[in-house]
Amino acid sequence: MSAFLALGECMVEMSDAGDGLYRRGFAGDTFNTAWYARRLLPADWTVGYASCVGEDAISHEMLAFMEREGIDTDAIRRLPGHTVGLYMISLEAGERAFSYWRGQSAARLLAEDLGWLDGVLKGREMLYFSAITLAILPPKSREPFCGALARARKKGAIVAFDTNLRPQLWESREAMREGLTLGARTADIVLPSFDEERTLFGETDPAETVARYRRHGADLVAVKRGGGDLLLWQREAGSAAVPARPVARVTDSTAAGDSFAAGLLAGLATGLPLRDAAGQAMALAARVIQAPGALVPEAVPGPSDGR
């Protein structure tokens, strides 16, 4: 059996339900990718999530939710005295705004026990993490965390990195640049968004973004450009552009990149040619942004064999 493992932080999500009421859910960038990957990958793949949670009631409810959704939780540590992070979504002039509470989040200790981390990475065919995964860690833990992924990569795992930026999580712009560089040097596959890269690195063309990640050792780079064409580069095949999927109306852009990553990685994992995997990823993201929320069951056509 093959194994896909995403690493990061799943949080309690409180979304505005109107009349001063909030609806509780569970979401987080790498968890969202695992959730979509479970629906795309066949039954002979396990999809797991690596993180840390507490031993309180909400942590147990989160784990129960993951298991109901077909996500393996064997790679999650339970840490007494900690809990899970929480974020609240509110509307301001029609735009979504986010407030975060992460101070007691156990996920920040993901790299605290490297023996445990090496153990949960062992035997996984594909590993996925993001810049948010790195940002929530204490600065001193980022290199050891990436070192564990690099060891797994040397043993044959394919490592994918999404450069998902949340500037408020980083100590400084320099720390953010260093974090993205560290993550990219750890990975086979890098998934940047050009708007974010342009802001952080000052690049004026997606080809510059590709060239920078090539220098860091990536074998595959997929530069997302919002509603624009996707720029692909693969070491063996060179560059190619994949036309954007037209969308009549964007309802909620949450998890656009997360679902894209799931579509691309699941396609590659099951042997699709790169352009077909990219097409699957773009089609899924286009469906996701036309519905509210991060997790959109109707965006994945047909029931999952892995559920």
Catalytic residues: 258
Cβ–Cβ under 8 Å, residues 33 and 262: yes
Please give the structure tokens belonging to residue 247. Answer: 């969308």
Q: Using the 8-state DSSP alphabet, how is residue 229 labeled?
A: P
Within a 13 Å sphere around the CA of 266, how many CA atoms are in the beta-carbon half? 29
Report strand pairing: 230-234 vs 238-242: antiparallel
Please give the structure tokens belonging to residue 80. Answer: 């007494």
| Spatial separation of the C-alpha atoms in residues 117 and 102, rounded to whole Å | 21
| Spatial separation of the C-alpha atoms in residues 191 and 195, rounded to whole Å | 12
Report strand pairing: 95-101 vs 126-130: unpaired
